[in-house]
Structure 1
């Protein structure tokens, strides 16, 4: 898109959460999660199956609402927005402050090999990968084992502690460490309460099942949007918002799923163009941009088709060759 096209849409789409839809959805998801837990602790296998479906739905939306909070779009009230971000981050074990720092850098430096933390992390890992590790990676990719998502979560936990070990004692890093410790203390308290009620094993199984669903969904939703997009040169300037459509992709719309389950996350081009616009305004931005660009706005296949097709391909053929710096 051009700057003029971007500006024309920008003038018509307000920033921030001017409507309460995200807050309402967040509360509803928390109630669904509590209801799912009560089904899980029943003695019925059928009810436990329903519990996993409901919990999976709720935890995916909690992850997506956390993403809204990263952009300040969960609530216009900053304290409420950050509380939602921290609570959701604690609930899914993905520290809010670290993820916000990484995610904002991703939007600022999309497709940059060094300044985009996601790309930098991938390059560092691929550069030291042995042939055996490459075969293991391809096995996990082919068999839908969500190792990329698991590594992403782990990296967010390790990041502030690694930074401090390397001599970075800045207030930002120390604050991230304090919140990481607070998250861990919260897990200990919940575990002790569950143990006192004799529910610790059930809670652990419930949580691990949700985590596995979430890891699967994180890869399903995130990977199509930047796959097969080449990286910039190391000395390249950052792309402006209206230039990022060259390195990000949309996924096709699936009725009900795209709008009401994954909260328009498939509209990734307009999200990169207007990152502070909340999820419920993205279809309007997408439509306005389509009007500006005419027939040049082309969608990819939906997330499920992308995964079904590309899980059969080697990961290095799909996107890894951009990160592989081995001689």
Structure 2
């Protein structure tokens, strides 16, 4: 599918090109689910394939997998803990303007680029990085930044259009769709230890479940993160009735959150 949308990006112009870049961008940013699954080592039976897929997806999304693994495992250990969940280092929006800022993807790009540059310069103060993962994260950031710089230089010296229409432009256009999806996972859930309560599952249509590698079953994933993505629907059926926070869809979720923002009742968790 990426090959198909990428071909359109290289051959179309005008409004058709923008539409193709949006479609291509959505597919690109939703490489996040395979990155996520590969970090959990549940995407593939073979370890090195998990690592290779995580490397490719992480590079395209500016999420180096060694750093992201430490970040994400801490998120699983301390879900919705304001003091220890690294996802809460960037609080959820409490105003409509803040909501639009997060939804635009600008907050994400600022945060990941700043973190990448900071680690590349040898500063990795994050509490979830230990003596083993910290030097790995620093080396990884330096390699990634060097590769990004090399791509930028080669593009400027040759033809920047392929990189702009196949990668940079599409991920900027596609990121709001990923932000809208990810906001549903925990925003507005209580700060408790019960994974069925601090995580929201979303009742969604098949194309979204496919695109997101079944992560709308997010409470099920947090309750048992060792279950592979393809088995989550069966696990959801087995544990039916366990969910304590559920949305009837992504539009109803965002409608409820916008209402809370307008009423001033949206909290930064």
TM-score category, normalised to shorter length? 0.7 to 0.9
Name the residue aligned to 1:139. Answer: 97
Structure 2 residues not aligned, in runs of 5+: none
Structure 1 residues not aligned, in runs of 5+: 1-31, 127-133, 233-238, 323-327
Q: Displacement of 1:53 after TM fit?
A: 4.1
Q: Secondary structure at the match of 2:247?
A: coil
Q: How many residues align?
A: 264
* Partner Cα separation in structure 2 for residue 222 and residue 110 of structure 1: 14
Q: 1:213 to 1:67 in 2, by over 3 A?
A: farther
Q: 1:54 to 1:289 in 2, by over 3 A?
A: same
Q: Say whether residues 1:96 and 2:65 are aligned partners.
A: yes
* Partner Cα separation in structure 1 for residue 90 and residue 207 of structure 2: 30
Name the residue aligned to 1:33. Answer: 2
Q: Displacement of 1:58 after TM fit?
A: 2.0
One of 303, 306, 309 as aligned partner of 2:250: 303
Name the residue aligned to 1:280. Answer: 230
Q: Say whether residues 1:188 and 2:149 are aligned partners.
A: yes
Q: 1:65 to 1:156 in 2, by over 3 A?
A: farther
* Partner Cα separation in structure 1 for residue 70 and residue 19 of structure 2: 36
Q: How does 1:1-327 map to 2 (within 5 A)?
A: 32-45=1-14, 47-119=16-88, 121-122=89-90, 138-142=96-100, 144-154=103-113, 156-157=115-116, 160=119, 161-163=122-124, 170-198=131-159, 200-204=160-164, 206-232=166-192, 239=193, 243-254=194-205, 256-290=206-240, 293=241, 299-311=246-258, 313-314=260-261, 317-320=265-268
* Partner Cα separation in structure 1 for residue 260 and residue 176 of structure 2: 18
* Partner Cα separation in structure 1 for residue 126 and residue 227 of structure 2: 36
Q: 1:209 to 1:307 in 2, by over 3 A?
A: farther
Contact 1:99 1:156 (8 Å CA) reproduced: no
* Partner Cα separation in structure 2 for residue 46 and residue 79 of structure 1: 41
Q: Deviations over 1:40-90 (max 9, x none)?
A: 232533552453244134213311100111111122222221111111100
* Partner Cα separation in structure 2 for residue 314 and residue 165 of structure 1: 30
* Partner Cα separation in structure 2 for residue 319 and residue 257 of structure 1: 31
Contact 1:310 1:318 (8 Å CA) reproduced: yes
* Partner Cα separation in structure 1 for residue 151 and residue 176 of structure 2: 25
Q: Secondary structure at the match of 2:43?
A: coil
Contact 1:98 1:159 (8 Å CA) reproduced: no
Q: 1:245 to 1:151 in 2, by over 3 A?
A: farther
Q: 1:187 to 1:155 in 2, by over 3 A?
A: closer
Name the residue aligned to 1:4. Answer: none
* Larger radius of gyration between Structure 1 and Structure 2: 1
**CA RMSD between the two structures:** 3.1
